[in-house]
Each structure stands twice: as C-alpha cells, then as structure tokens.
Amino acid sequence: MKVLTVVGARPQFMKAAAVSNVIREKDQEILVHTGQHYDENMSKVFFEELQIPKPDYNLGVGSGNHGKQTGTMLIELEEIYEKEKPDIVLVYGDTNSTLAGALCASKLLIPVAHVEAGLRSFNMNMPEEQNRILTDHISKYLFVPTNTAEKNLKNEGIKNGVYNVGDVMYDSVLRISKLAKENSRILEKLNLDDNDYILTTIHRAENTNDPKRLKNIIGALNESGKKVVLPLHPRTHKYMESYGLAFASNVKVVEPVGPLDMIALEMHSCKIATDSGGLQKEAFFVHKPCITMRDETEWVETVENGWNILVGADKNKIIDGINNFMPTSKQEEIFGDGTAANKIVEII
C-alpha cells in the first residue's frame, strides 16, 4: 500500500510522528509538507526532534490569504498525486493544508482518510471549522478521537467509514513526554521553577485580528499577578506591534519552542492559558488545569470533565481563571488508550 500524507502545521507534525512510524513498518509512505508553517521553530525542529522522516516534497507555500494559500497547494498537490499515484491520501486536523490535501485527492478519485474527524466548534466564522466540515464530507475514512466527534458526524448524516480510534495526539504526547524528560533543558535555560508559572499561547485569528480581544487578553496576563511564560507566535507579535500593545514584566516572552521543550514547559507549569485546540488536549494529557481564551471549544469533553474552562476574551474571567480555577474531579479516559496510530494503520 502506498500512503501519501499531507502535513503543513505544527500540530500535524506531532500527529504524523505517531502514525508515520507505524505506516513505514510495513508499507510505503510519501510525506508532503506544504510549508504552511515554515519558520524553523515551527517546522524544521519538529521533524528533527520527533524523528519524523524527511518530507519527500516541500511545497514551500508560506503564509498568505486563505485563497492564495489553498489554491497554491491544490496546484502543487495535483502534480504530486498524479506522479505518485497513491492508494490513499492521509490528512490531519483542520488547516488549509488539510482541506487542500483532501479536496485535491477527492477530485482525482483517490480515497481520503481524515485523522481527527468530527470535531465541531459550531462557529462557522472560524476557517478551521469550514476546513474540517468540508474535509469530513469528502473523506472515505473518518478517524474520530472521541464519542462526541462520532455523534457530530452522525448528526450530519455521516455514518459510513467512521472509526472511533482515540486520539493520535495522546499517542504522541506519551512518546514525547519521555523524550522531553531525557533531553529538554528549557527550565534551566529560562530559569524557571517547577509548578511556578502559567504557560500561555495566543494565536487564533479571532483573538489576534481583533484589537479589543487581544488588548483584553494581554491586559489580563499583565494584571494577573502571576509569572507567565509565553512562546510568542509570529502573527500575534505582528498584531501587537500594529495595535501598540506590550507585556508587563511578569510576562516572560520567548521565541516559539520545539516539541520537546513545549511538552516540558507544559509538564512543569501550574496551569495553562491558551486559545489553541491542541494545547487544550495536551493540558489534559499532562494533568494541568486549562483556561481557554475562546468562546467555544471543539474539545467539550475537557470542559465537561472539569479540567478546562471557557473564558473568552473577558479580562476579568481570564484573571479569575488564572488565579482560582482548579479541577474538582478525576480525569476520565476520554481520548483512548494511546494506541490510535496502530488502529488507524490497521484499518486503512
């Protein structure tokens, strides 16, 4: 079997790290990196630290508006698909790379397998929501991570080809945590103590592109009274400069870090405050309370289990969450048993 895998963004590299290694035990994989994330700290370091095979193709599309980025990917991917003639195309998550990879395959009548299918925020203003819905409806194999995701697909009339395999990100975090304990020195580098800081990320367009929301979030971090560690996304930095916003001295801003250092920062934090979907799950995996700076989440299970709260971009709610939120229940086994990658490869 020849599997062609399309990745392009940081979370997809982590998921591919789990699945690609299993594929290559018995089958052939062609790995295509669209170049959607191209900064070394957001791309190259992931392939090196996670021991992901070097991409067979790197499209180098870079940043740009949605139409240009997705269109460029479609043109480039079509040539690769016709040359490689894969038996199946594997895509992950909800980025423009996901949609382009799936749409191009569908047009060429190549079966599509969507890992992390069925997620819904029910907010169609999110580009990610549009991408994941469209991808689900043209996929032959839909690998859902949770019972909720499976129900979402059923509500949209998608019942065939749905497999509840658990979350491949859980597979990856289990593996990466061991590597981080052995190799990461980020705490010493940043002079941090265990359980003594709030780990924060901000990158969602709904927050960065809205001056009021971004001002409220940064104001909350500045006024929280807590030590905050923030690996700063390039887009967030750009918009902060545009809006004339700055961090107070309690916020330690660092460059984006690699996967081993990021997991280490998560494991040694006291809480996590984020607008990232992936980091909400990782917080759950490493047993850290999560304050989600969005109005909705795809990972409703983490909220229902009491380990995640939604605070939007409300400054007072963010400050209250940082200072007072603590889970009151034990974690349930929501995301499978850490063997999702094996199940996916066995099915396809």
Tokens read off for 243: 């809006």
Select which of 33, 203, 233, 268 is catalytic.
203
Question: Do 6 and 150 share a domain, yes or no?
Answer: yes
Question: Do 220 and 293 share a domain, yes or no?
Answer: yes
**Domain around 135:** 2-164
Number of domains the chain contains = 2
pLDDT at 22: 95
Question: Do 155 and 194 share a domain, yes or no?
Answer: no
Structural domain contains residue 344:
no
pLDDT at 37: 60
Structural domain contains residue 18:
yes
Any catalytic annotation for residue 203?
A: yes
Question: Do 226 and 302 share a domain, yes or no?
Answer: yes
Question: Do 191 and 74 share a domain, yes or no?
Answer: no
Tell me the CATH number at 30: 3.40.50.2000
What are the start-end ranges of the H helices in 140-229? 147-155, 168-183, 186-190, 205-208, 211-223
Structural domain contains residue 333:
no
pTM for the full predicted model: 0.87
pLDDT in tens, 266-325: 999 999 999 998 899 999 999 999 999 999 999 999 999 999 999 999 999 999 999 999
Low-confidence ranges of the chain (pLDDT < 50): none
Structural domain contains residue 171:
no
pLDDT at 43: 61
Question: Do 187 and 116 share a domain, yes or no?
Answer: no
Question: Do 159 and 187 share a domain, yes or no?
Answer: no
pLDDT at 38: 54
Structural domain contains residue 340:
no
Structural domain contains residue 173:
no
Cα 175 off chain centre by: 16
Structural domain contains residue 35:
yes
Domain boundary among 112, 135, 164: 164
Structural domain contains residue 338:
no
pLDDT at 36: 72
Question: Do 195 and 306 share a domain, yes or no?
Answer: yes
